[in-house]
Amino acid sequence: MGSHLCDSLISDGHQVIIFVRDPNKNQNIHHILDKITIENVDITNSTLLEEKILEIEPNVIFHLAGQTSHKLSFDNPFYDLDVNTKSTLTILETLRKAKFVCRFILGSTFVVIGRPQSLPITETSQCNPTSIYGANRLTSEYYCKIFNQLYDLDILIFRITNSFGPREQSLTPTKNAINFLIHHAFEGKEITIYNQGKFFRDVIYIEDVISALNVLMNKGKKGELYWISSNKKTWFHEIGKILEDKTNGIVIYGDATEYNKKVDVGNFLVDNSKLKLLGWNPKISIEDGISKTIESF
């Protein structure tokens, strides 16, 4: 997501500075290396993170960094706490003490909801996360709400449903399940879809996510939470059919693992009307998005 946002911000004439833990992992931004500034900052290093923010004095911060795998959050819960929660609190404390004004936009996730009690989900739906990752992301959201209420900081929060597209993670299903399925199908491999594909998610293409972030940066109301979603049901057996039609991949429908049964959120659909009131609309269909992603591979 970060590289796509950089592309968009650069095209709009913004000066872009990115914080990366490993400056050598730049395959997603190799085409814009001469147009951005890269700072080697591990966001779990609170001292360095604060120092760099105060040095740069940014007008806007997009906090997109973090550990996004619910599986890894159980394997290393204290790291997940540092990268997904402590980093947010460090940024908020830094901005609270700063002498400049900065809009802080926190990226969050649909997994904070857990298993929905009713559909569609809205900004006021109850949250019961089923993973440490989800709990830490939700904690970051609460930190942002508190700092906005108490210190009147210019803070926005957005949650994304299942996003996918070129340059998104595709090597492991625990980080981006849809990109993983597309990539494996593209390589002609067998792909497994649980529960006979008889479950649906709210799936959104990366271009639509980036256009939403631009709208939030320019028009979002501080202190508010917004959902970025397609507001459409995408059944996973539909994804399987599209992949079989467009690739040499073979879809196998199987039963979910015991782990998956315990943490999976199940069917998911989000009402995106609040974001649409700002003038945004998603444009890319699931089939077109899969085609564009296959082309990129």
Distance CA 250, CA 263 (A): 26
Q: Which residue has the higher pLDDT, 59 or 262?
A: 59
**Average pLDDT score over residue span 276-293:** 97
Reference 287, options 232, 214, 249; nearest CA is 232
Distance CA 178, CA 76 (A): 24
- Is the pLDDT at 7 greater than 90? The verdict is yes
- Is the pLDDT at 162 greater than 90? The verdict is yes
Q: Which residue has the higher pLDDT, 26 or 117?
A: 117
DSSP string of 171-193? S-TTT-HHHHHHHHHHTT-EEEE
- Is the pLDDT at 173 greater than 80? The verdict is no
- Is the pLDDT at 132 greater than 70? The verdict is yes
**Average pLDDT score over residue span 9-20:** 97
- Is the pLDDT at 10 greater than 80? The verdict is yes
pLDDT tens for residues 84-116?
999 999 999 999 999 999 999 999 999 999 999
Provide the pLDDT for residue 190.
93
Long-range contacts: 171-174, Cβ < 8 Å, 24+? 172/69, 174/69, 174/70, 174/71, 174/72
- Is the pLDDT at 74 greater than 70? The verdict is yes
Instruction: From residue 231, give the alpha-carbon distance in Å to each of 119, 193, 227, 228.
Output: 11, 22, 10, 9
Provide the pLDDT for residue 112.
97
Average pLDDT, the chain: 95
- Is the pLDDT at 136 greater than 80? The verdict is yes
Contact by Cβ (8 Å): 178, 239 = yes
Provide the pLDDT for residue 157.
98
Provide the pLDDT for residue 254.
87
| Strand stretches in 114-264, DSSP E | 155-160, 162-164, 190-194, 200-205, 225-228, 233-235, 250-254
* 45 φ, ψ (degrees, to nearest 5): -90, 90
Q: In which element (H, E) is residue 73 found?
A: helix 70-75
pLDDT tens for residues 220-268?
999 999 999 999 999 999 999 999 999 999 999 988 888 888 999 999 9
By percentage, how much of the chain surpasses pLDDT 70? Answer: 98
| Prediction pTM value | 0.95
Residue 14 CB neighbour total at 10 angstroms: 14
- Is the pLDDT at 215 greater than 90? The verdict is yes
Provide the pLDDT for residue 38.
96
How sure is the predictor about 23, in pLDDT bands with cuts at 50, 70 and 90?
confident
Provide the pLDDT for residue 174.
62
- Is the pLDDT at 175 greater than 90? The verdict is no
How sure is the predictor about 26, in pLDDT bands with cuts at 50, 70 and 90?
confident
Instruction: From residue 14, give the alpha-carbon distance in Å to each of 9, 34, 59, 231.
Output: 5, 14, 10, 30
Residues 6+ apart with CB under 8 A from 214: 8, 12
Provide the pLDDT for residue 170.
76
